[in-house]
Amino acid sequence: MAESIMDIEDDNFENDVLQADKPVLVDFWAPWCGPCKAIGPVVEELAGNFGDKINFLKCNVDNNPITPGKYGIKAIPTLILFNKGNVVDQVTGMVAKSRLEEAINKVI
C-alpha cells in the first residue's frame, strides 16, 4: 500500500522536517511546473517503497516562499533529502528514479 505524500508549509517545516524522527524527502514544486508533474509519480512510487523508513513531503513554492528561499531553491522541481535536520542530498530537475533511490539508500 502506497504511503501518502503530505503537504508541508512554511509554518510547520521546522517541526515536520528539521525535527523529524526519521529522514525526510521534500519535493519543492508548483502546480504550473511541467517537470514537477512528470516527477510526481516517481516520488509517489518511492513513497510506496520507502514510506516506512522515510517521510515524503511536498512544498508548493508559490504558497510557501520562505522555506525555498532559505534553501536557495532557484528552479523546480527540487528534491531535498534531510536527516536529523541537515541537508543530506539535493536534486534539481527531472532525474531518473535510480538517482533518487541512491540518495534515499544513503540515509536509511
Which residue out of 8, 24, 36, 103 is catalytically annotated?
Answer: 36
Is 59 an annotated catalytic residue? no
Which residue out of 17, 33, 39, 54 is catalytically annotated?
Answer: 33
2 in Cβ contact with 48 (< 8 Å): yes
Residues with catalytic roles:
33, 36
